[in-house]
Structure 1
């Protein structure tokens, strides 16, 4: 069986997708159609996984009480993070909108089943952390698929992980990886917001690969 051919026009569009995939912090409040959100989650599950274990667990957080608890978790952690900066860094940090928890219509927590029965342990004997890496691949697949649909995603990492797991009543062997805010972006850009706001700059001269 012959696989599909991807013409140069497709590859050019794919390059644009990579460029426009941004970590979104400002959202419109109108919801993403249910069919679109379902399709994006189904696409995420096409990600590669060690031993075909498919260890990712996407949890849609809808209950207002649980969302409020996550928001409180973030507020405490963000306040603590601010104390770790001083001077100009502290001023800039205080101006950054580091979460879309107030506006994003959809919130999705992502966990990893670190020892799933599926896959029967193939490929994990010496590197068990590959289940986590597989789940992160699913997050990235979801992110790219969302961008292609004009949907924004923001990864909230300023959270206490164990508290998130307790708030959402997750099994003890599910490791919390990411809390995603999902919705239509209030604005779009092909450069990172942290770069536009002067927090950090990409360094195109410093490549992250070496040759041995």
Structure 2
């Protein structure tokens, strides 16, 4: 799959997963794609916890559903009703969950490039996640990022050391189909913003010239 096609067709998947296991060689390729991501100071701060245990995943799911209710109770009216019909996870629907962490202590306290921006350690890990997501899509595999969770609770369940940061919890598996549009757009939760409204020139708020605006509004990949 062409990289632009993978970007365009990538989706955050929460349903339509199949129980079909991911072959080791395919999983290894997807993890390698993540491991080949750029990292500040070549620090490679990531680790990948492969979670097959149904018991562990049920404990994770309990925390996710608790946090879902907390968020739901903050909503009102149509938004609350709409959210009630949105599935937020595929924790037990997939053959595998993956937790991805960031170890800011790897290679010591003075990592090249992090002196003024220590958060680039976490940014590096997120770049690895995007690599993984695109590689998975090219293999016909869906990924759903679950964020309804208290990170410290999940760290305790997974035995993650105190100094290591939990960055992402992913559900991963083959799917029956990929939606044409992002699910939240299909469900009416939101729409993609117009690119030309998000691009400035030289300083904040300075819009682009008309020719570039037209190009940004009409570009296709």
Give the structure-2-normalised TM-score. Answer: 0.87
* Number of equivalent positions: 201
Match of 1:19 in 2: 8
Counterpart mapping for 1:1-212 below 5 A: 13-26=2-15, 27-117=17-107, 120-204=110-194, 207-212=197-202
> 3-state SS of the aligned residue for 2:79?
helix
Q: 1:115 to 1:189 in 2, by over 3 A?
A: same
* 5+ residue gaps, structure 1: 1-9
Q: Is residue 12–residue 143 contact of structure 2 (8 Å, CA) maintained in 1?
A: yes
* 5+ residue gaps, structure 2: 203-221
Q: Is residue 155–residue 181 contact of structure 1 (8 Å, CA) maintained in 2?
A: yes
Map Cα deviations across residues 47-93 of structure 1 (whole Å, 9 max, x no partner): 00000000011111122222111011101001111101110000100
Map Cα deviations across residues 69-119 of structure 1 (whole Å, 9 max, x no partner): 101110100111110111000010000011011201110001100221179
Give the structure-1-normalised TM-score. Answer: 0.90
- For residue 120 of structure 1, report the CA deviation from its aligned partner: 4.9
Find the aligned partners of 2:143 and 2:171 in 1 and give their Cα distance: 6
Find the aligned partners of 1:184 and 1:93 in 2 and give their Cα distance: 25
Task: Kindly report the root-mean-square deviation, in angstroms, between the aligned alpha carbons of the 2 structures.
Answer: 1.5
Find the aligned partners of 1:198 and 1:34 in 2 and give their Cα distance: 37
> 3-state SS of the aligned residue for 1:115?
coil
- For residue 204 of structure 1, report the CA deviation from its aligned partner: 2.2
Deviates more, 1:154-163 or 1:112-121: 112-121
